[in-house]
Homo-oligomer: A and B are copies of this chain.
Amino acid sequence: MSAPLQTIPARRGKAARVKAGQRITVVNTHGTQVVDTWAFSADDLDEWMAMEASRAWFLKLAAAVGDSFVTNHRRPILTLLEDTSGGAHDTLIAPCDAPRYRLLGVEGHHDNCRDNLHAALAALGVTAPATPSPLNLFMNIPWTADGRLSWGEPVSTPGSYALFRAEMDLVVAFSACPQDILPINGRTGQTTEAHFSIE
């Protein structure tokens, strides 16, 4: 990781342009932070990394090293090359959003991954026409053999990372998940920054 680290501020989003062939490292700096991740074709924001197409591609609930995520046009967009985090990266759960926090009893504004996505894209000068289901890096949603899901705590350690290769020119967007009511970011109430690099 020789490229400079960029910050995904706690409870906020950050987007960046990436060229085909470049590598993206996402670092769980403090070990407990979920990072919701989206990718869009740089040429056409209507083409995005799609969890439902990716599961059909690698035929698993979660990717392993060597697997590619594909777009809603069935083209590879990100390939997972290395992973030191323990491999709990959720493909099943929606990004948190304002209605989610209202249901959890929050009155008024609460930071949320959906708004963070669109704010991060706006800061790059691009607009996404929808909110795709994200790749929730470091988010631990265990499943049971009979299909039950639960909100797990992170298994990743401080400084662990996931490394991807960009398979097309793309826009990547991250949100350091501000969920502080469920223990998805470690103990309840804890939200931290994370980092990424592009090289």
List the interface of chain A (C-beta within 8 A of B).
50-53, 55-56, 59-62, 72-75, 92-94, 97, 99-100, 103, 129-131, 133, 143-145, 147-150
Contacting pair A56 B94 (CB below 8 A): yes
Contacting pair B103 A55 (CB below 8 A): no
Residues of B within 8 Å of A75, CB to CB, are: 99
Contacting pair A73 B52 (CB below 8 A): no
Contacting pair B148 A60 (CB below 8 A): yes
Contacting pair B147 A60 (CB below 8 A): yes
Q: How far is it, in angstroms, between the C-alpha of A97 and the C-alpha of B93 when the chains are bound?
A: 23
Overall SS of chain A's interface: loop
Q: How far is it, in angstroms, between the C-alpha of A62 and the C-alpha of B92 when the chains are bound?
A: 11
A148 → B minimal CB distance (Å)? 6
Contact of A133 among B52, B61, B144 (CB under 8 A): B52
Contact of A55 among B55, B92, B145 (CB under 8 A): B92
Contacting pair B147 A93 (CB below 8 A): no
Q: A52-B133, A130-B130 are in contact. Are A72 and B94 (CB under 8 A)?
A: yes
Contacting pair B130 A55 (CB below 8 A): no
The chain B residue sitting closest to A145, CB to CB, is B145
Contact of A94 among B53, B97, B130 (CB under 8 A): B53
Residues of B within 8 Å of A133, CB to CB, are: 50-52, 133
Residues of B within 8 Å of A50, CB to CB, are: 94, 133
Contacting pair B94 A73 (CB below 8 A): no
Residues of B within 8 Å of A62, CB to CB, are: 147
Q: How far is it, in angstroms, between the C-alpha of A94 and the C-alpha of B72 when the chains are bound?
A: 8
The chain B residue sitting closest to A46, CB to CB, is B130
Q: List 12 A-B contacts (CB under 8 A).
A: A51-B52, A51-B133, A52-B93, A60-B149, A61-B61, A61-B92, A61-B149, A72-B131, A73-B99, A74-B97, A74-B99, A143-B143
